[in-house]
Amino acid sequence: MSEPVSTTIPPTLFLSDADVASLADWGAAVAALADAYARPVSDAMVPPRSMARGDGHWLRSLTAVSPSGGHLGCKLIAASTRARRASYLISLFDQETTALAALIDGNRVTGLRTAATATLAVDLLAPLRPLRVAVIGSGFEARGALDCLRTVRTVQSVRVYSPTPASRERFADSFRPDLDITTVASAQEAVREADVVLCAARSRDESPVLRGAWLPAGCTVVSLGSTLPEQREVDEETLARAACIVADMPDEVEHDTGDAIAATRAGVHLPDKLVSLAALAAGAVTPRRAERDIVVYKSVGSALQDVVIAEMLLALARERAIGTPLAASIAPVSK
């Protein structure tokens, strides 16, 4: 049996969902992700996700090594399709000592990282002026994306569309009077004259909710709502018109999302225009060669994002003395 390492290690800190809510900070999240994506990240540091499936339940794991040099992390998602319930747990291990630094309720982390990564992409892609924003969708992803974006960039005006009038009115009311936000009766009307399109919605029959024919020249499209082969959000023409498609996980976007699969079948050669968010953040690619070029950011989510946001939360928790130190934890052993 391996012997425990005899060294003083800080106790594991547990952060509850309420703790995460109190620590959530859009600006800090975007800054943490910008720093992470500007550093070298190998494929081995962010391996493909895995999923164990049972009868009516599954467990997904997403692992990553943070490029900050601080932690190794894992997000576990346990879900029951029968009970319609899910639990999210993020564990962070110190890279130097292998000690379990934190256990974090991951319920809110997916929303935090999705919105913050989208904002980072917009900040790198959209023109440096007050932005006219179109929002398609009125759920938590759309809300988070707009809320995060307005903390980082100046938003001149917003037009929002979702199929249910009451839902889009509630969405707009939640941002008034801080934002000039208007509800509209169609996605096409929302997109008209937009600098940025935040798309976080899918139709019930999985037909695209955004058409490339509607897009004004020079706009930046963010697609958050289609991450699986059977899901659709933007049509083939949207990807065909794009001068550049930025992806957080390019291989997964190309081969595992319904939008990219449909575009490939329609003859759109995606490898010619698909680039990584890491390459964009590092300044290694030029997404626009002309002001009128359309660019797309397509997200499937990444363990890197989860771990970086979890590190940010842990740092803030330590700084503000938030969280519960556990009485007992995992003792690293000599190997």
pLDDT digits (tens, 9 = 90+) for 297-315: 999 999 999 999 999 999 9
pLDDT at 6 over 60: no
To 10 degrees, the CA torsion angle through 211, 212, 214, 218?
A: 140
pLDDT at 5 over 70: no
What's the pLDDT score for residue 202? 81
Query: Is the alpha carbon torsion for 180, 184, 187, 189 positive or negative?
Result: negative
What's the pLDDT score for residue 295? 98
Task: Identify whether residues 216 and 128 lie together within a single domain.
Answer: yes
Domain of 68, CATH number, reads 3.30.1780.10
As given in the structure block, the two tokens for residue 311 are 């590190």
Domain of 205, CATH number, reads 3.40.50.720
Rounded to whole angstroms, how far apart are CA atoms 78 and 59? 5
Tell me, yes or no, whether 332 lies in a domain. Answer: no
Calculate the CA 132 to chain-centre distance.
21
What mean pLDDT value characterizes the chain? 94
Task: Identify whether residues 144 and 245 lie together within a single domain.
Answer: yes
Tell me, yes or no, whether 40 lies in a domain. Answer: yes
Q: State the residue range of the domain holding 193.
A: 113-298
What's the pLDDT score for residue 323? 98
Q: Which of 35, 72, 39, 79 is nearest to 56 (CA)?
A: 79
Q: Tell me: the pLDDT tens digits for 190-246?
A: 999 999 999 999 877 889 999 999 999 999 999 998 888 889 999 999 999 999 999
What's the pLDDT score for residue 255? 93
Task: Identify whether residues 205 and 280 lie together within a single domain.
Answer: yes
Tell me, yes or no, whether 6 lies in a domain. Answer: no
Tell me, yes or no, whether 48 lies in a domain. Answer: yes
Say if CB 95 and CB 72 are below 8 A apart: yes
Task: Identify whether residues 94 and 192 lie together within a single domain.
Answer: no
Domain count, the chain: 2
Tell me, yes or no, whether 4 lies in a domain. Answer: no
Say if CB 26 and CB 148 are below 8 A apart: yes
Task: Identify whether residues 312 and 267 lie together within a single domain.
Answer: no
Task: Identify whether residues 181 and 307 lie together within a single domain.
Answer: no
What's the pLDDT score for residue 260? 95
Task: Identify whether residues 155 and 82 lie together within a single domain.
Answer: no
Q: Tell me: the pLDDT tens digits for 173-183?
A: 999 999 999 99
Tell me, yes or no, whether 7 lies in a domain. Answer: no
Average pLDDT, integer, range 68-82: 94
Tell me, yes or no, whether 175 lies in a domain. Answer: yes
Task: Identify whether residues 96 and 126 lie together within a single domain.
Answer: no
Task: Identify whether residues 187 and 291 lie together within a single domain.
Answer: yes
Residue 325 binned pLDDT confidence (cut-offs 50, 70, 90):
very high
What's the pLDDT score for residue 1? 60
Rounded to whole angstroms, how far apart are CA atoms 159 and 192? 9
Task: Identify whether residues 138 and 276 lie together within a single domain.
Answer: yes
Task: Identify whether residues 270 and 313 lie together within a single domain.
Answer: no
Residue 98 binned pLDDT confidence (cut-offs 50, 70, 90):
very high
Task: Identify whether residues 101 and 153 lie together within a single domain.
Answer: no
What's the pLDDT score for residue 267? 96
Q: Tell me: the pLDDT tens digits for 20-39?
A: 999 999 999 999 999 999 99
Tell me, yes or no, whether 1 lies in a domain. Answer: no
